[in-house]
Structure 1
């Protein structure tokens, strides 16, 4: 895994053309639903920062928007 394969939810949202909250709620779950990311595809870092992997983003949202 490369360093570019791990990113914040804000960076991932920008790279995939999504709203930041879309990626964040995929980490947290929403309305009682479990997180959409699988174990090892996301992690909380510090008080407010969530990290996600490229593999998780591609699994949920398809290839990165170039």
Structure 2
């Protein structure tokens, strides 16, 4: 896999994994006093856009059902 394909926006990840974008972002930030589910190597904000790695998504949600 090319390095550029390892990183995607939370919007792209939500579409590929069939998840809600806001939930993926909450997993980056943590919520209700709980720590983030993604590690700092799997998710970060760049400008106003949240980015997540494919590795992080697979770790939390498994392989996507939708073909990329």
TM-score by length of 2: 0.88
- 2:46 paired residue number: 45
Q: List runs of 5+ in structure 2 lacking aligned partners.
A: none
Tell me how many residue pairs correspond in the alignment: 65
Q: List runs of 5+ in structure 1 lacking aligned partners.
A: none
- 2:14 paired residue number: 13
TM-score by length of 1: 0.90
Task: Measure, in 1, the Cα distance between the counterparts of 2:7 and 2:62.
Answer: 16
Q: Which runs of 4+ in 1 moved over 2 A?
A: none
